[in-house]
Amino acid sequence: MPASKEPADIPLAPGDWDYIEEGTENVIISYHGSEPDLQGWVLRLTKCDASAEIDLESHEALLFRDKELQRKQDALEFAARVIGPIVGDKYVLPQRLAKTSAEFLIQVRENIESQRPRNRLSKSIDARQSASLLTKEMISRTPADSTQGAHAVTVELKPKCMALPRSKFLAPESSVKHRVCWYCRHQYTLHKDGNVSQFCPLELFSGDRKRIATALEHFAQSPHNNFVVFVDGRSVVDEEGKLSDKCVPHWSELRDAVAGIVQKESLFSRLQLIQRELDSFNIESVLPMYQHALETGALATEEPRIDAWLNAYSEFRRRLDSGSSDLSAVSDCQAVLELMLATTLRDVSALIKFDSWPARGATGTGTLEHSSYSIGIVDHDPKKVSNIPKYYRLDQNIVATYLQHNPDKAYQRPCRE
Ligand SMILES: [Zn+2]
23 C-alpha to ligand 1 centroid (Å): 24
Distance of CA 53 to the CA centre of its chain: 30
61 C-alpha to ligand 1 centroid (Å): 44
CA neighbor of 184 nearest in space, from 222, 217, 212, 228: 222
Instruction: Give the range with max mean pLDDT: 92-96, 356-360, 361-365, 410-414.
Output: 92-96
Residue 3 belongs to some domain of the structure: no
pTM above threshold 0.75: yes
CA–CA separation, 241 vs 205, rounded Å?
Answer: 25
Residues 396 and 247 both lie in one domain: yes
Residues 85 and 167 both lie in one domain: no
Residue 66's domain comprises 14-136
* Cα within 13 Å of Cα(32), Cβ side: 12
List, in order, residues 6 or more apart from 86 with CB less than 8 Å away. 270, 271, 274, 313, 345
- Condensed to tens digits (0 to 9), the pLDDT of residues 132-184 reads 999 999 998 888 777 778 899 999 999 899 999 888 888 888 999 999 999 99
Residue 5 belongs to some domain of the structure: no
126 C-alpha to ligand 1 centroid (Å): 37
**What's the confidence (pLDDT) of residue 1?**
46
Residue 23 belongs to some domain of the structure: yes
**What's the confidence (pLDDT) of residue 323?**
87
201 C-alpha to ligand 1 centroid (Å): 6
Instruction: Say which DSSP state 284 is in.
Output: H
Residues 352 and 269 both lie in one domain: yes
Among the residue ranges 9-13, 87-91, 124-128, 165-169, the one predicted with the least confidence is: 165-169
- Evaluate if residue 2 carries a pLDDT over 70: no
200 C-alpha to ligand 1 centroid (Å): 4
416 C-alpha to ligand 1 centroid (Å): 7
Residues 191 and 255 both lie in one domain: yes
DSSP secondary structure letters along 234-270? EE---TTS--STTTSTTHHHHHHHHHHHHHH-HHHHH
Residue 7 belongs to some domain of the structure: no
- Evaluate if residue 385 carries a pLDDT over 80: yes
